[in-house]
Amino acid sequence: MAGTVTEPTARTATTLADGRELIYYDSGAAVPRNAVDRRPLDPRPPASQVRRDPVTGDWVTVAAHRQARTYQPPAEECPLCPSRDGRLSEIPADDYQVAVFENRFPSLAGLPGELTGGLRTAGPGAGRCEVVCFTADHDTSFADLSESRARLVLDAWTDRTAALSALPGVEQVYCFENRGAEIGVTLAHPHGQIYAFPFTTPRTTRMAARASAHRTATGRNLFDDLLAAERADGERVVLAGEHWTAFVPFAARWPYEVHLYPHRRVPDLTALDDAERAEFPGLYLDLLRRFDRLFGTGRTPYISAWHQAPAAHRDELALHLELFTIRRTADKLKYLAGVESGMDAFVNDVSPEHAAQRLREVAR
Ligand SMILES: [Zn+2]
């Protein structure tokens, strides 16, 4: 998979004490990454299970072992900081740029197996869950990274997408970041995650159905038409580059929500070309910094979600990033209560046009 990393990114793979894989990504010349994990680790937890809701068709992952996972440890016990001064963490090196490793408490792991059928369709929770550490600096945030570091993270996401898509049983690769305790982040260190699902996720399944219906009705691609319409209209566009445009969706579900699309429709990160890859870090950092300026409260909690096409829908689904916050005012969060959680029907208290205007105003 090294071929998917744009030069000059160096990639060094190693193994942790319990057999999990860890990969260092370094910009520029290769850095020796030969530190050994010396921790006495317990064996890896039992596998999880995926079950299909017979009523909605949605897959649910049942991972009971995750109840024991590390929850908001003090900074001096951070498992994502480098191993230094006799303190051993998940990352054996005493420094790193970007590091990716298999989650110690994964929701999904291992190989696919037989599915049971009927009303109780279930199977092994196959796939993989990885942690992506954006920096060795515990007290920073993605928005504070340099463009070159953000580019290195993009290269790591891309490399992992290629590698995980090739694993047996993996249908969809999802790179994402949860930022902020309000979102439920259990570790403060700047990091994201990657889930390699053994199924197509419910939201992607709905998008694929919509794209298929649009194709049938118009003969065209849904995402091509959507992006062209938003760029032509401009009212909800937050920022536009040469190769990417970010806009608030017409029917945004969250108080502040931005979707970032490359102008050229591609199925996933591995299909981006050099020019698209070069422009992304500056635009993405700009968006994150705008989010942090929205409320005058410092770091805004957010979820950043890469939508990538599963193998079955590469012709119609378009790679894009969805960035949103659950914060609606400086002191109020949007909770998913009865209407949203019970019915999947969102009520948004901020008009998408106003949200776009605000996000344009906080340019600096
Ligand atoms: Zn840390």
Q: How many CB atoms lie within 10 A of CB 103?
A: 19
Structure tokens at 4: 């998917």
pLDDT at residue 297, as a whole number: 84
| C-alpha of residue 100 to centroid of ligand 1, in Å | 14
Distances (CA, A) of 226 to 213, 230, 232, 314, 322: 14, 6, 10, 17, 15
CA–CA separation, 98 and 136 (whole Å):
8
- Ligand 1 centre and the CA of 12: distance in Å? 21
Instruction: Specify the 3-state DSSP secondary structure of 105.
Output: coil
**Closest Cα partner for 298 from 78, 135, 141?**
141
Measure the CA–CA gap between 243 and 276, rounded to whole angstroms.
6
Residue 9 confidence (pLDDT) = 86
> What pLDDT, on the 0 to 100 scale, is given for residue 217?
98
Cα of 328 vs centre of ligand 1, distance in Å, is 28
* Average pLDDT along the chain, 364 residues, taken 10 residues at a time: 57 95 91 91 88 96 77 82 92 97 92 90 95 97 97 98 96 96 87 97 97 98 98 98 98 97 98 98 98 92 97 96 94 89 93 98 92
The catalytically annotated residue of 138, 189, 191, 320 is 191
Bridging pattern class, strands 172-179 and 98-102? unpaired
Dist CA 261 CA 144 (whole Å): 22
Contact yes or no for 306/157 (Cβ under 8 A): yes
Q: Which helix (H) or strand (E) holds 161?
A: helix 147-165
Verify cis geometry, omega within 30 degrees of 0, for the bond prior to 249. Answer: no
Q: Distance between CA atoms of 171 and 70, rounded to whole angstroms?
A: 28
* Cβ contact 123:114 at 8 Å: yes
* Residue 189: active-site member: no
pLDDT of residue 70: 67
Distance between Cα 181 and ligand 1 center (Å): 15
Residue with tokens 């705008």: 290
DSSP labels for 132-156? EE--S-TT--GGGS-HHHHHHHHHH
